[in-house]
Amino acid sequence: MSPQAVRGAECAATRRSTQSSMIDHGLELLSEDEAVRLLAGGEVGRIGITIGALPAIFPVNYRLIDGVIVFRTAPGSKMSAAAGGAIVAFEVDDWQLEDRSGWSVLVVGRATVVDDGALSDQARAAHLEPFVDGCRHLLVRIEPTFISGRRLVHALEAPSG
């Protein structure tokens, strides 16, 4: 077995044998509860859709309402993806450049157009308003089927001297 394969097997065994959620030095795998908590606290994320078999990623402001991601849009590519019930990716993150820390949450799920009056009322009550100008009165929801998250963590530096 090559040294890389041995090292990979050792890392995999370490991940399986500990209760720690560290998946690599400095990279922590978040629990689903923690990922949802971070997702709920965000305001701006990115939706990843497919346009003509090519990936396209767009920033959107959103709210997490009753476990689903909701955002406003206008007719166009995001609306077309939702109208077709496309499986999409949604990502939200927060990074601190000063100390190179941060986290990222990824959601995969089906996008659909919101035709539920109750969810529309909840979006209004949550003050979900688009950041950009123009008419963005259409609501899209993403029903999560997969949620994962990662956090950058750094070991404490030993005092010098």
For 103-119, b where at least 16 C-beta lie within 10 A, e where not — what string? bbbbbbbbbbbbeeeeb
For the chain, which residues score pLDDT lower than 70?
1-20, 22-24, 134, 155-161
pLDDT at 155: 63
Structure tokens at 58: 């767009």
Both 104 and 135 in one domain: the answer is: yes
Write out pLDDT tens, residues 61-90: 999 999 999 998 888 887 888 878 889 999
Number of domains in the chain: 2
Cβ contacts of 32 within 8 Å, gap of 6 or more: 147, 148
* Residue written as token pair 């949620």: 147
Task: Please tell me the total number of residues recorded for the chain in this structure.
Answer: 161
Torsion, CA 49, CA 52, CA 56, CA 62, rounded to 10: -30
User: Do residues 79 and 7 share a domain?
Assistant: no
Q: Are residue 41 and residue 4 in the same domain, yes or no? A: no
